[in-house]
Amino acid sequence: MDASQRTVLVVEDSPLFRKMVGEFLHALGIERVLEASNGRAAMEFLAAGRPDLVCLDLTLPDVSGYDLCEYIRGTKALATVPVLMISARGTLLDRAQAEEVGADGYLTKPFSQDEFNQQVLSMLARNVKSLPGGGKNDART
């Protein structure tokens, strides 16, 4: 599946940062970028469909990124969706906690477009390999 057919959910309460992440994803050729400004909106998107990747801010106004990541990992249909945690909090404890709840990667704000691209491309490649048939003949919508 090429990048243009991917769907990425960006969960971020800052409109400017949401826009920046969306632009980075579009620059990678990803056309379907869904945006949620809080955890509840993200859960509504996730209930309606399975994205190929979730870029998840740690600090949201209603639910923590940790709790949302646990929700994703605890939902059978979403359990294998890669989660890239993004936060201004960069302590070892924050990173360890993100790993404990099942995040696949962690980026500390601010980060470069190259750092972001490396994480996203790596996670999308792993996600294809984890699909039945290695992503061949992928009939998901």
User: Who contacts 27 (Cβ-Cβ below 8 Å, separation ≥6)?
Assistant: 113
Q: What would the DSSP string read from start to end of 107-119?
A: EESS--HHHHHHH
pLDDT tens digits, one per residue of 59-105: 999 999 999 999 999 999 999 999 999 999 989 999 999 999 999 99
Token code pair at residue 97: 């906690």
Q: What is the CATH number of domain 3-126?
A: 3.40.50.2300
Residue 137 has pLDDT above 60, yes or no: no
pLDDT tens for 106-128 read 999 999 999 999 999 999 998 76
Q: What is the pTM of this model?
A: 0.89
Domain boundaries, the chain: 3-126
In this predicted structure, what is the pLDDT of residue 4?
81
- The pLDDT score that the predictor gives to residue 3 is 81
Position 141 scores a pLDDT of 33
pLDDT tens, residue by residue, 14-45: 999 999 999 999 999 999 999 999 999 999 99
Q: What pairing do the DSSP bridges indicate for beta strands 32-36 and 53-57?
A: unpaired
How would you label 42-73 residue by residue, b for 16+ Cβ within 10 Å and e otherwise? bbebbeeebbbbbbbbbebeebbbbebbebbe
Model confidence at 140: pLDDT above 80: no
